[in-house]
Amino acid sequence: MSKKFSIDARVILQLGRDSIKDHTTALIELIKNSYDADAKIVEVEIYSRETKDIIRVADNGFGMTDTELEDNWLRIGFSEKKKNKNSTLGRRKTGEKGIGRIAADRLGSNLNMITKSKNEKVIGIEVKWDEFDVDKKVVTDIELIELENPTIKIPQKEDELSETGTEIIIKNLRQEWTKENINDLYRELSFFTPLSHDDSEFQIRLINDIDPSIPKEVKTAIYEVAEIEVTLHYDGKEELIYEYKNKIDARRNKIRIINRDQFMQSEYAGSLNTGPVDIKLLFFPRKAALLEGTSFKLSDLRTFLNINAGVKIYRDNIAVKPYGFVNSEFGFDWMGLGARKAEDPAGISRPSYKITPNQLVGFVNVSRDENPKINDSASREGLVENEAFEDLRALILSTIRLLETYRYEIIKETSKKPEKKPAHDSIHYITEKLNSVVNDLESVKQYLSKHKDYKGSSISNTVIRVNEAIEETERTIEELLEEKRVLSALATLGIASAVFGHETESSINEFKLAAKTSRSYLSKKNPDIEIALIELDKAIQHSKIISGWGTFALSRVEKEKRVKRERRIKPIINKVLDQIKPSLDGIGVELIKEIENVVAKTYPMDIESIILNLLTNAYSAVPNSKRNRVIKVTLKNEYINDKKGFSLTVSDSGPGVAKEFINSIWDPLFTTKIGKSDQRSGTGLGLTIVRSIVDEMEGEITLNKDEELKGAKFNIWLPK
Amino acid sequence: MKSIGIIDDRTDVLETTSNAIRSVLTDEFQDWSLIATQPFEKLDEYRSWIIENDLGVIVIDQKLNENKVKEKYFSPFLGNQIINNIWGNFKDLPIFGLTNYSVEAMNDVKAITYDIIERPKFTSNIETYVRMFVKSGENFYKLNRDKLERLSELAEIIALGNATDRDKTEAKGLQLDLQIPHFASDAISHEEYIRKLEKNLNEIKDFKSKIEDYIKKQNQ
C-alpha cells in the first residue's frame, strides 16, 4: 500500500501566523488581493469598540466563480499570480505566495467570504479558524460551511455600476485596534499606490470607530500644493525627459529632453545598469504661503510631511520598504540628503543650495520585468545594493540636483538683487573716491598756505597724514589683489593635483615596480639583460613624469609670474600643455593645439590659472562620453569692438554642459559631477576662479557646444 | 601547464607587472606560466580566454578605460564588471584586483574579489603575492581535478548503460560547474548505441554493394 502525507490543519494557521507580521499587515494582504482582482474601490471597515466587533473588506473586483473558489481560493499555496503576473487592467499583481487569505486568521476567528463574478450567482463560505487549531485534526476533515442564499454589498463608484466583487467579513476579532494601529494602517494604505499614477483607478475607503479623526477616503490631495514638481522619465537608453511644474508661477513650467551623459556627468558613460525609470519629486517648503487658496493649514502640511517625507521606490506600483519610510531608521534618508546638507548648509541664495530630506516627497517607479538587475535582498526587506541600485540612486540624486538648480534660478531671478560688481569695478570706484578726497584736501592745503592762517600748519599736517593713509590703503588693496592672485593659483594647483595627481601617483608606483623588476632580472643566476634594460627604460620614463609634476607644482606661484608686463602668451600656454601632457596620455586623450603668437600685457599666473582650470575640466569630462577622447586648445589674436585682444579656447569631446547648468557652473561650489558611491565629485571652484580672473581683466567668457568635438567649448577673450 | 591570467589596459604596465610576476614564477614555480591580455571588447571573450588557457587564477586592474586597446577601443567595462561576469561562468575561480587607488576607495569592489591589492603594497611584496596567487590557483585546480575525476567515473557508468537518474543528475551538475558541454541528458543506453551503430554500418555496407554493382555494370 502506498504511503501519503497528511497535513495537520494547524499547519495552515501556523503558516499564516509565521508569514504575517501583525494585524495591520494581515489586513493589507486582503486589500492587496482586491487590488490584484482589478478592483477600483475597496471599502475597509473596522469596528472594535462599542457594540460591533467586526472587520469588513469589500471590493468591486472581478469576483470568483464556484470553480475558482474551489480550485484557487481554497487551495492553500496556490497563486494564480504565479501564472499571470499582470491583471486584466495591466496591474502588476502583488502577491505570489498564495497565503494572503489565511492572513484573515490573524484578524479574527470567523470569516465569511461572499463573492460574485460576472454572469454567476452570489456564493459564500464561512471559515471558523479555531476548528483548525485542534490536535491531530487533518485539514481535509474540516468541512467549510457554504452560506445559503448569501447577499453581497459591493462598493460602488459614483460614475459606474459594479456588479461583481468580493466581500470578506471577519468576526470575533483577535486583537483590539488602537488609534495607533488605525493611524499606521492609514499611513500604509496611503503609500499603497504611487501618486504618479492616476489614483482614481484605485480608491480605498477606511471607516472605523476607533479614531474618528481619520478621514474616510485614503486621500493625498495635499500633494497638489507642492511648490515644485519635477517628473523625469528615463527610457533606459540615451535620453531623459523631464518636466517642471511650478505652483507659484505656471509660466515657469517647462518640459525638456536631456542627454543622459550630460545629466549624470558620471565616469564611464554608457554603463547605467538600470532599465526605464520614472521619478517624481515634490518639493514642499514648510511655509504657510504655499497653502494659500487651499483648505489646508500649515499644521496639516507639517503632519503630512512628518508622515510622508522621503523618496520611496515602487516596484510595479508597490512601495519597497524601507526606502523613504519615515519610521525607518536607515531607510528614511537612504539618499543621504541630510548628510549632504550638513556638509554644505548653503541657503537658497547660494548656487550650491541643497534641499533637506524632510522637504521632499519622491516616487521612483521601476518595473521588475524591465529592471531585472534591481533585485530583492535575501532578507526580503529592501533591495540588493548592487551597481544597478547605485545607478538608480545616482539617477535620483541627479534629478534632485535638477530641482535644486531650478529653484535657485527662480529665487535668483525673482529676488532681483543688484548684480554683484566685479572686484575690479569696486576697486576703481574706491580709488576714484579716494583721489577726489586727495584733490579736495590738496586744494584746502594750498588755500591755507596762501592765506597764512595760523591754524594752517596743523591742517596741512592733517592733509599730509590723510594722503599717507590713502597711499597706504592703495598699497593694501594692491597687496590684497596679489594675495588673491596667489590664492587663486594655489587653489588651481589644488584642484589640478586632485585630478592629475592620480597619474603621478601611478607613475611613482610604476617607477618602483619597473626598477624592482629590472633588479630581479639582473640578480638572477643567468641574468636576463634584455628584460632588465626594458624595465629600466620604463623606470626612467616614469621618473621623468614624476619630476615633471614636481617642477610643475613648484613653478605655479613663482614671484616673476605675479608681475604684470608685456608677455608672450604662446610659451606660457605651451609650457602648461607640455606639463599636463603625460596625464592626458595616461587616459588616452589626443591633444590638438592651434596656437598663434600673441603678446599681451598680463600676469602669467592668471593665464596659467585660466588654462589649467579649463584643462582640468576638459580632462574630467572626456571619459564621460563614448566619443574619441580629444581636447583642443586654440590661441589667437582677436579684436572685439575695435578693442585689441586675444582669445583662448579649450574644447573637449565630453558630453558638454547641459543648458540647465550653464548659468550655475560659474558659481562657487556648484559642480555637475555627481559621484557614484566612493567616487570623487568636483570641487566647484575651478570655473569660479576662471570667471573671477576674466572679470578682473575686463575680458569676456562664453560657453558653447563645440560643433566638431561635440563637447563643451570655453572661449575666453582678454584685452591686450 | 598551470597559468595565471593578467588583465590591464596599459601596455607598459601590463608588461612590467607580467615581468615582475614571471620573475617569481621562474624562481619558485616552474610549472606555472603567465598569460597577459588587454581588456576584450566583449564580455563573452573572457570565458573563451579562460577556457583556452586553462587559467587557475586571474589578476585584474580595476580602472580599465585609461588606454585604447590596440588603438581601437577603450574597455567598455570596469574591473568589477568583468569579475562579476567571469564569476557568472566560473564561480570558484580566484580573482585578485590591482589598484592605484586606496583600498578604502574600492570597498564595493573589495566585496567581490578575493582581495584587492594596492599597487605600492604589491611592489613591496611581489613574492608573497605571487605565492598567494599560486596557492589559490592550486586549490582551484585541485577542486576542478577532483570534479573531473568524478565526472570521468560517471561518464564511464553512463557509457556502460548502468547510470541511475541520480548519476545523470550529478554528471549534469558537474558539467555545469566545470563548463563542459552536457552529455548526460542526451545520453542513450549502451544497447541502443550499439543498435544504432550496427544500423549505420549496415547502411554503409548496402551503399558499398550498390556502388560495386554500379561499377560492375559500367565495366560490362
Mean pLDDT for the stretch of residues A135-141: 80
B152 in the same domain as B130: no
State mean pLDDT over B44-70: 87
Residue A40 lies in a domain: yes
Grid cell listed for B220? 560490362
Poorest-pLDDT segment among A201-205, A323-327, A345-349, A378-382: A378-382
Q: Against a cut of 0.80, is the pTM above it?
A: no
CA closest to A585 among chain B residues:
B67
Q: A379: which DSSP letter?
A: T
Domain identity same for B132 and B164: no
A289-298, A400-409, A513-522, A563-572: least confident range: A289-298
Phi, psi angle pair for B80, to nearest 5°: -65, -30
**Same-domain pairing of A33 and A141:** yes
Rounded to 5 degrees, what are φ and ψ at A363? -125, 130
The answer to whether the CB atoms of A677 and B108 lie below 8 A apart is: yes
| Of B86, B121, B146, the domain-final residue | B146
B96 with B79, same domain: the answer is yes
Can you tell me the mean pLDDT for A320-348?
A: 81
State how far residue A534 is from chain B, nearest Cα, in angstroms: 9
Query: Which range of residues forms the domain containing residue A708?
Result: 423-719
Of B113 and A413, the one with more pLDDT: A413
Number of structural domains in chain A? 3
Q: Point out the residue among A268, A509, A517 whose CB comes nearest to the CB of B119.
A: A509
Has residue B32 got a pLDDT over 50?
Answer: yes
Question: Same domain for A263 and A361?
Answer: yes
A-to-B residue pairs, Cβ atoms closer than 8 angstroms: 71
Contact across the interface for B16 and A524, Cβ inside 8 Å: no
> A274 with A391: CB under 8 angstroms?
yes
Band (pLDDT 50/70/90 cuts) for residue A298 is: confident
pLDDT, chain A, mean: 80
- Answer whether residue B3 shows pLDDT above 90: yes
- Please, which pLDDT band fits residue A676 given cuts at 50, 70 and 90? very low
Residues B184 and B102 in one domain: no
Same domain, B55 and B129: yes
Do the Cβ atoms of B76 and A534 come within 8 Å? no
Q: Cell triple for residue B138?
A: 592550486
Contact criterion met (CB < 8 Å) for B19 and A531: yes
Is B20 within 8 Å of chain A by CB?
Answer: yes
A386 falls in which pLDDT band (50, 70, 90)?
confident
Chain-centre distance for alpha carbon A334: 11
**B35 and B119 co-located in one domain:** yes
Out of B122, B146, B170, a domain closes at B146
For residue B192, give its domain range: 147-219
A516/B77 touch (CB, cutoff 8 Å), yes or no: no
Contact B65 A516 (CB under 8 A): no
What is the pLDDT at residue A157? Answer: 77
* Distance in angstroms (rounded) separating the CA atoms of residues A657 and A659: 6
**In terms of domains, do B8 and B38 share one?**
yes
Report the phi/psi class of residue A174: left, alpha or beta, with left for phi > 0 and alpha for psi in -120 to 50: alpha
More reliable by pLDDT, A247 or A645: A645
What confidence tens digit (pLDDT) does each residue in A233-254 have?
A: 888 887 888 888 887 777 778 8
Angle at A217 between CA A216 and CA A218, to 5 degrees: 115
What residues of A are in contact with residue B63 (Cβ under 8 Å)? none
Comparing A280-289, A444-453, A579-588, B70-79, the range with the smallest average pLDDT is: A444-453
Judge whether B105 is closer than 8 Å to chain A, CB to CB.
Answer: yes
Q: Does residue A403 sit in the same domain as residue A429?
A: no
Same domain for B193 and B89: no
Question: Is the per-residue pLDDT at A43 higher than 80?
Answer: yes
Note whether residue A1 is domain-resident: no
Q: How confident is the model at residue A285 (pLDDT cuts 50, 70, 90)?
A: confident
Q: Which three cell numbers stand for residue B163?
A: 547510470
Which CATH number do you get for residue B96? Answer: 3.40.50.2300
pLDDT recorded at residue A548: 78
Q: Are residues A332 and A403 part of one domain? A: yes
Is the domain of B137 the same as that of B158?
no
Record: contact A587-B68, CB cut-off 8 A:
no
Band (pLDDT 50/70/90 cuts) for residue B13 is very high
Question: Are B20 and B113 contained in the same domain?
Answer: yes
A609 vs chain B: nearest CA distance in angstroms?
26
Nearest chain A CA: its distance from B186 CA (Å): 30
Statement to judge: residues B167 and B126 lie in one domain: no
The grid coordinates listed for B188 are 542513450
* Cβ contact, residue pair A678, B107, below 8 Å: yes
B170 and B186 fall within a common domain: yes
CB atoms within 10 A of CB A359: 17
State how far the alpha carbon of B26 is from the alpha carbons of A523, A526, A641, B20, in Å. Answer: 13, 11, 72, 10
Q: Please report, rounded to a whole number, the percentage of residues in chain A having pLDDT higher than 90.
A: 15
Q: Do B106 and A678 touch (CB under 8 A)?
A: yes
Of the partner residues A516, A535, A587, the one whose CB lies closest to the CB of residue B66: A587
- Answer yes or no: do A513 and B119 touch at CB < 8 A: yes
Question: Is A96 in the same domain as A239?
Answer: no
Q: Chain A: nearest CA to B9, how far in angstroms?
A: 10
What pLDDT, on a 0 to 100 scale, did the predictor assign at position A112? 93
Q: B119 to chain A: which residues are within 8 Å by CB?
A: 506, 509, 513
The three grid cell numbers given for residue B52, joined into one nine-digit string: 583556452
Please indicate, yes or no, if residue A216 is contained in any of the structural domains: no
Distance from CA of B67 to the nearest CA of A (A): 5
Are A379 and A482 in a shared domain? no
pLDDT of residue A680: 42
For chain B, the average pLDDT equals 83
Same domain, A458 and A390: no
d(CA A281, nearest CA chain B) in Å: 28
